[in-house]
A and B are shown apart, each in its own frame.
Chain A
Amino acid sequence: MDDLSSGSDSDYTKYWIDWFLNTKGNEYFCEVDEDYILDRFNLTGLNSEVQHYSQALDLITDNLVEEEFDEDMRDQVEKSARHLYGLIHARFVITSRGLAKMLDKYKKAEFGRCPRVLCHNQPLLPVGLSDVPHSKTVKLYCAKCEDIYSPKSSRHAAIDGAYYGTSFPHMLFQVYPNLMPQKSTERYIPRIFGFKVHEIAKVHRWQDQMRERLEEQTRQNSKDHQ
């Protein structure tokens, strides 16, 4: 029994990526294929982005001889490795392999569900607001209301948005357009003792005007296109 548990422990330490994905707070990441990482072409430009690049890459691919470094250095390499993995992840998730992997996670609603009541628990997708690392944390995109929300848990709210990139969710729906949820024009209507609030009703009427104009435009455009 003891042997078995220690065996699985060493499994985790054997594969850095497995250990990383199983760490709490990293649930939003998917597993990047080893082939993808080993292809140097996919990592173009990252060496200037990440400190201790080659050691970090060795750590990710489990080729690092950790005994060569002291405690301090090991911590730094560890940090760089996480950063590097995030940046590779951002590139990987918009490839067809990556999209398929993320799609699986999306179908299981592993990124959470939309907090908006009228979205009726629509699953979310992670998205960054910037492709530059260390600028914005990750947000969650709801395809039903086309809006972005902050993650519920503070662990997820601390992840860098650049590890997912600004394009990922939209790329996913370009590739799998049939997964786009049905849009609804339902809106929450505030009421005081059953009566609509005048100011808000005015805003809603204005929004309806905007919607009709947009629909008209889209119809016109598609006609021109044909």
Chain B
Amino acid sequence: MEDSDNGSTITKSSLTSVDSWITYFCSLAGHELYAEVPEDYIEDEFNLTGLSAIVPYYELALDIILNVDIDEMVESDSDGMSNDLDPSDEEGSDGLWKETPLKVPKNAQRPDVMALERYAGMLYGLIHQRYILSRNGLRQMAEKYNSGHFGYCPRVYCYRCPVLPCGRSDQPGTEAVRFFCPCCLDVYSPQTTRHSTIDGAHFGSTFPHLLLFTYPDLAPDGRTQIYKPKIFGFRVNERSVVGPRLPWLRLRPDDHTSTEELSMEFDGGGGGGSDPRYQKGRDDESSLAGKLDAVSIDRLNWQSESHKLSEEIARVKRKDPSSGGGFHIKEAIRRWLE
């Protein structure tokens, strides 16, 4: 019920916004990163709280975004401006913080259309930053992400993982848009110059992480290959002055095992004894390898099958971690051997 409601509002707004400023803005080159913010979201003043203190010529910029007639704008312009700056505004001082719009000097010339457009873009960006954190906005962006609208990770071993736009700061004018890759958990500069002029604050620092938080299915599993520098086929040793120093940077704990378990594996299993639960699980896995040898492996594609099995075991472990997993893992192995 709720879903269909939301769906209809989106289609309605996109219908009414044909040829609107928002559609035009989102169709500009490089602006395919933006989602179209429905007009009713912008019309709700609650969603715009605080923005008039950041954006110059806030009222005019808002009028441009909402397609208020330009002629009308010019006429009502002078009245609107003087009203805004009327000192009588301060009459209702109830001790609460009040938003004060950015001061524009009195009798100042209205800025030309180009400058106003820029402020409109800035205001739209800041509204956009808030909108894409809302439920509808997240869904809209998730759809765009799913279809690869935002491009792909430049890192070779992420194998063209789709990336998400973000900013490293929420303040406008600090840095251009960056792209977050959920596979290597790192941020990259835009690959095209078209995107390097877009302000990162229009997406905000929270957005990609909230999106993956809301839609965990979209996150790729973080397993990735690590590049090993080699000279004539021999790995460059860590002892070398110029040897690898940062292999941990791309290292990720294996998804199938918990973090603690993996750190034990790196110890060479030395720490494993302290937790009989994991020890047991590992015994099961090693005895499993013995069983597999017995099974006619030639019929099976060893790698894919063993991968499937380890997945099955991980699933059982995740489902019921309290029981220690021993029994269930045996169950899983039996089911797999059948």
Residues of B close to A145: CB separation below 8 A: 246, 249
Residues of B close to A217: CB separation below 8 A: 238
How far, in angstroms, from A222 to B208 measured CA to CA in the complex? 42
Q: What residue in chain B is nearest A207 (Cβ atoms)?
A: B248
Kindly identify, within residues 235 to 271 of chain B, every residue whose CB is under 8 Å from any CB belonging to chain A.
236, 238-242, 244-253, 259, 262-263, 266
Chain B: residues with Cβ within 8 Å of the partner, total of 46
Q: Is B82 an interface residue (CB 8 A)?
A: no
Q: Is A191 an interface residue (CB 8 A)?
A: yes
Residues of A close to B236: CB separation below 8 A: 170, 174
B156 touches A167 (CB 8 A): no
CB distance from A205 to the nearest CB of B (A): 8
Q: What residue in chain A is nearest B241 (Cβ atoms)?
A: A177
- Interface size on A, as a range, is 35 or more
B239 touches A225 (CB 8 A): yes
Kindly identify, within residues 103 to 137 of chain A, every residue whose CB is under 8 Å from any CB belonging to chain B.
115-118, 129
A167 touches B230 (CB 8 A): yes
CB distance from A143 to the nearest CB of B (A): 8
A206 touches B253 (CB 8 A): yes
Residues of B close to A115: CB separation below 8 A: 154, 188-189, 191
How far, in angstroms, from A174 to B241 measured CA to CA in the complex? 8
Kindly identify, within residues 158 to 210 of chain B, every residue whose CB is under 8 Å from any CB belonging to chain A.
168, 178, 180, 185-189, 191, 205-206, 208-210
Selected interface stretch from A2-10, A42-50, A65-73, A196-204: A196-204
Q: Is B46 an interface residue (CB 8 A)?
A: no
Residues of B close to A166: CB separation below 8 A: 230, 233
Residues of B close to A152: CB separation below 8 A: 154, 191
Q: What residue in chain B is nearest A202 (Cβ atoms)?
A: B259
Residues of A close to B97: CB separation below 8 A: none
Known A145-B246, A148-B156, A166-B230: A190·B238 in contact at CB below 8 Å: no
Q: Is A14 an interface residue (CB 8 A)?
A: no
CB distance from B249 to the nearest CB of A (A): 6
CB distance from A177 to the nearest CB of B (A): 5
B210's partner among A185, A188, A192 (CB-CB below 8 A) is A192
Q: Is B213 an interface residue (CB 8 A)?
A: yes
Q: What residue in chain A is nearest B178 (Cβ atoms)?
A: A117
Residues of A close to B168: CB separation below 8 A: 117
A197's partner among B178, B209, B259 (CB-CB below 8 A) is B209
B239 touches A221 (CB 8 A): yes
A203 touches B244 (CB 8 A): no
A190 touches B249 (CB 8 A): no
- Among B157, B239, B242, B266, max chain A CB count under 10 A is at B242
Q: Is B108 an interface residue (CB 8 A)?
A: no
How far, in angstroms, from A146 to B236 measured CA to CA in the complex? 12
Q: What residue in chain B is nearest A167 (Cβ atoms)?
A: B231
A146 touches B227 (CB 8 A): yes
Q: What residue in chain A is nearest B186 (Cβ atoms)?
A: A188
Q: What residue in chain B is nearest A152 (Cβ atoms)?
A: B191
How far, in angstroms, from A206 to B191 measured CA to CA in the complex? 31
Selected interface stretch from A19-27, A53-61, A81-89, A208-216: A208-216
Known A115-B188, A170-B231, A210-B251: A146·B206 in contact at CB below 8 Å: no
How far, in angstroms, from A37 to B59 measured CA to CA in the complex? 70
A206 touches B263 (CB 8 A): yes
A203 touches B239 (CB 8 A): no
How far, in angstroms, from A171 to B209 measured CA to CA in the complex? 39
Q: Is B50 an interface residue (CB 8 A)?
A: no
Q: Is A173 an interface residue (CB 8 A)?
A: yes
A117 touches B229 (CB 8 A): no
B266's partner among A129, A167, A171, A213 (CB-CB below 8 A) is A213
B189 touches A117 (CB 8 A): yes
Known A190-B209, A191-B206, A218-B238: A150·B185 in contact at CB below 8 Å: no
How far, in angstroms, from A165 to B239 measured CA to CA in the complex? 23
Residues of B close to A117: CB separation below 8 A: 168, 178, 186-189
B245 touches A146 (CB 8 A): yes
- Among B180, B246, B262, B263, max chain A CB count under 10 A is at B246
Q: Is A38 an interface residue (CB 8 A)?
A: no
Residues of B close to A213: CB separation below 8 A: 266
Q: What residue in chain A is nearest B252 (Cβ atoms)?
A: A203
A148 touches B249 (CB 8 A): no
**Binary A-proximity of B215-242 (CB < 8 A = 1, otherwise 0):** 0000000100001011111001011111
How far, in angstroms, from A149 to B263 measured CA to CA in the complex? 28
How far, in angstroms, from A42 to B236 measured CA to CA in the complex? 25
B229 touches A170 (CB 8 A): yes
**Binary B-proximity of A169-180 (CB < 8 A = 1, otherwise 0):** 111011001001
How far, in angstroms, from A197 to B251 measured CA to CA in the complex? 18
Q: Is A155 an interface residue (CB 8 A)?
A: no
Q: Is B155 an interface residue (CB 8 A)?
A: yes
B189 touches A148 (CB 8 A): no
CB<8 Å pairs between A and B, sample of 20: A117-B188, A145-B249, A146-B244, A147-B156, A147-B157, A149-B155, A150-B156, A167-B230, A167-B232, A169-B229, A170-B236, A174-B236, A177-B241, A183-B245, A203-B185, A206-B253, A206-B263, A208-B248, A214-B247, A218-B239
User: A117-B189, A145-B246, A188-B185 provided; 4 other pairs, C-beta below 8 A?
Assistant: A146-B245, A170-B242, A193-B206, A208-B248
